[in-house]
Structure 1
């Protein structure tokens, strides 16, 4: 049987690294999409040592930069004739207001627009995959944002790190569900998940009050191994082969917030994301 191929963003640390390691043990070919090649190279060797197939590829990508996402998608499309699983795992939290090369607030650009663009540019490879799945890592932090002010997602009037992160995680769930609807009948599933509050380097450099609270609570967070369980389940379990459009926690469907269930939010977010990424134009070049 031909090995399945899984692309994981942010596969060099945290739950992305554990996800890559465990899927490699299960016989998946792994594509690591990482921003820091220096940090990713030793992890690639670590994954190769446990891999059943020995195939662990590494592609550079900064999800905050749309030109980087387009180039990475082009490389993957050139190297592979199919993709079976896409795990949108990478994400960030930042205290201070920062902007992407395209002039978009960095949290929204990295956590939502990057995965939105990457996923759309890899859909043709997924269409050729075996039981193809798209898994998007969100968070219970989506409940921090009860709804969007759509014209402030890209350029907020005032910046709050927690609010921006919550909005980006709400966007993850809406994107995964809308994607499931749009792919209905094509055999590609799309689900999102909450990994739990995981002990990783996430928000470790935060200097606000919220960041300090994160630091104090960190000893009580779950391990990356525990945090990766639901991602691995959604990527590989035969139990959810035809399950799509749901939000999971601890390997079970969970009801997200009302804002995450809003069709209006999903439709508006998709339209805004298409506009901000010019994805339809880029599809012709990848």
Structure 2
């Protein structure tokens, strides 16, 4: 008999925090885990740690990529598509808050938008064919309750006229949720039933998150740290959505503490969601679904 290959999971932002905990849980469950990371040194360290936990037949691999750089996303996706036959779980976990001064990516986009929305949007699109090769693939998008403070301007997604780091972050987390909802709708519309997608709020995690942002943001996290959850606890909903049998048939949901939760945003209208999707396609330079 031929040996059954382990399921394959790709986790972004897996060298620290909830991403690392998620990757660790997946490899313990027998997944072949691919770490998509910016920093080669951190990635190698995490890979070695995960490899020590891997059961027979499983392993940890690394793909180096800065999600804010669309050329790097394309290169990493092409490498994945060449090396692996399928993808069973994609966890879009990486997300950052940037500083008080507006920064731009290699493609000229505001860095929060580029890293938290456009990079994952393009990566998911480029890996969709491999997800469709799985009997039951799952896409997990890590969002945040911060989406409730979002006030997006579809005429200025690139924040050229008005920028604040926390507003940019809140907007990007709302975009993650709306991307999830619209992707689920379009998958159903196309009769693609073996790929599901859900988003989540992990809790406010005590980590170095926001350490490169404004002094006010850093001060908030320092004061709030005693009331925050741990990375171990924060990763539980990601792990749940990636692996739990009871949500295998659920798609388009937003979860908090492993439970479905409403998305409270006046921006969440069909017209706005459609335009956000179209603008994301325009910014990454290609349609999400190949013709």
Name which of 187, 193, 200 aligns with 2:200.
193
Query: What is the TM-score when the length of structure 2 is the normalising length?
Result: 0.94
Is 1:234 the counterpart of 2:237? The answer is: no
Q: Distance in 2 between matches of 1:242 and 1:264?
A: 27
Give runs of aligned pairs for residues 1-286 of structure 1, distance below 5 A.
1-52=4-55, 53-96=57-100, 97-145=102-150, 147-184=151-188, 185-186=191-192, 187-259=194-266, 261-280=268-287
Does the 8 Å contact 2:180/2:197 carry over to 1? yes
Aligned-pair distance for 1:55?
1.4
Provide the secondary structure at the position in 1 that maps to 2:127: helix
Aligned-pair distance for 1:257?
1.3
Aligned-pair distance for 1:260?
5.9
Q: Distance in 2 between matches of 1:136 and 1:74?
A: 21
Q: Distance in 1 between matches of 2:31 and 2:252?
A: 24
Aligned-pair distance for 1:211?
2.6
Does the 8 Å contact 1:174/1:260 carry over to 2? no
Does the 8 Å contact 1:204/1:215 carry over to 2? no
CA root-mean-square deviation: 1.6
Does the 8 Å contact 1:8/1:20 carry over to 2? yes
Structure 1 gap segments, 5+ residues each:
none
Provide the secondary structure at the position in 1 that maps to 2:241: helix
Aligned-pair distance for 1:30?
0.2
**Per-residue Cα deviation, 1:162-215 (whole angstroms, up to 9, x for no partner):** 100000000000001100011113121010000000012110233332331122
Does the 8 Å contact 1:4/1:28 carry over to 2? yes
Q: 1:85 to 1:124 in 2, by over 3 A?
A: same
Counting matched residue pairs gives: 283
Provide the secondary structure at the position in 2 that maps to 1:151: coil
Q: 1:135 to 1:260 in 2, by over 3 A?
A: farther
Q: Distance in 2 between matches of 1:245 and 1:15?
A: 21
Does the 8 Å contact 1:21/1:47 carry over to 2? yes
Moved more, 255-264 or 169-178: 255-264
